[in-house]
Amino acid sequence: EPEVTQTPSHQVTQMGQEVILRCVPISNHLYFYWYRQILGQKVEFLVSFYNNEISEKSEIFDDQFSVERPDGSNFTLKIRSTKLEDSAMYFCASTERPRAGELFFGEGSRLTVL
Amino acid sequence: DAKTTQPPSMDCAEGRAANLPCNHSTISGNEYVYWYRQIHSQGPQYIIHGLKNNETNEMASLIITEDRKSSTLILPHATLRDTAVYYCIVRPSMNTGFQKLVFGTGTRLLVSP
């Protein structure tokens, strides 16, 4: 069964460092999302992406965050200068039909900022 | 967005049916009810969705009341692997474009032997 894959599964970084989280969506999906979940808290929407541009972003997704799909397969989330409060699980999701509401999530990348 | 209310936790014995309620009293006519679950710290997993008719798939059944103000997700024969947090989400229909899912706190279901 096709699945969304994310790398790395866990990354530890120092505050102020840049981090790139990578996602390979399901191959025929064209709509992509990043969500995050701080330990013990809700799953929060960060950004949605379609046709090489951001469709919607949340208040969390400030200038420190960026997304791109550089090669038609990977979908990346970059955090330019990490803060302690960026420590969380980051989930990538994709869908073939956004209006249908069935999103396929990856297993997540755990980011720990020290 | 319509809001949902779910009990914070529920218990179920293995092999029995798990019935997870959700209140969405402010749901509007074009909003669907979606159910997702999250096992431990894995990514959320889609279960089922519906508008007003009851729905069933290989994972679960969804019962929506006639007034659409509440629904119940039914796992007919719960297993230990069904232990997870279950999220009930309401979301505008297919004609309103690129709508994100908004997760609440969900119901933590514990299935015991």
Burial class (CB in 10 A: 0-12, 13-18, 19+), B95: exposed
Chain A contacts in chain B segment 52-91 (CB below 8 A): 87, 91
pLDDT tens for residues A30-74?
A: 899 999 999 999 999 999 998 899 999 999 999 999 999 988 789
pLDDT for residue B87: 97
Q: Which amino acid is at A49?
A: F
A84 touches chain B (CB under 8 A): no
pLDDT tens for residues B51-68?
A: 998 999 999 999 999 999
Please name the member of A35, A93, A101 whose beta carbon is closest to the beta carbon of B49: A101
pLDDT tier at B88, thresholds 50, 70, 90: very high
* Closest alpha carbon to A113 in A62, A79, A73: A79
Take residue B53 and report the two structure tokens written for it. 């008719």
pLDDT for residue A71: 82
pLDDT tier at B71, thresholds 50, 70, 90: very high
pLDDT of residue B94 exceeding 70, the answer is no
pLDDT tier at B1, thresholds 50, 70, 90: low
DSSP string of A40-91? TS-EEEEEEEETTEEEEE-TT--TTEEEE-TTSS-EEEEESS--GGG-EEEE
Share of chain A above pLDDT 70, in %: 97
Give dist(CA A45, CA A66) in Å, integer. Answer: 14
Q: Do residue B94 and residue A50 have CB atoms under 8 angstroms apart?
A: no
- DSSP conformational letter for A99: G
pLDDT for residue A23: 97
Give B102→chain A minimum CA distance, Å.
Answer: 7
B21 touches chain A (CB under 8 A): no
Q: Which amino acid is at B55?
A: E
Give B106→chain A minimum CA distance, Å.
Answer: 9
The set of residues, in sequence order, having a beta carbon less than 8 Å from that of A71 and lying 6+ positions away, is none
Q: Do residue A99 and residue B41 have CB atoms under 8 angstroms apart?
A: no
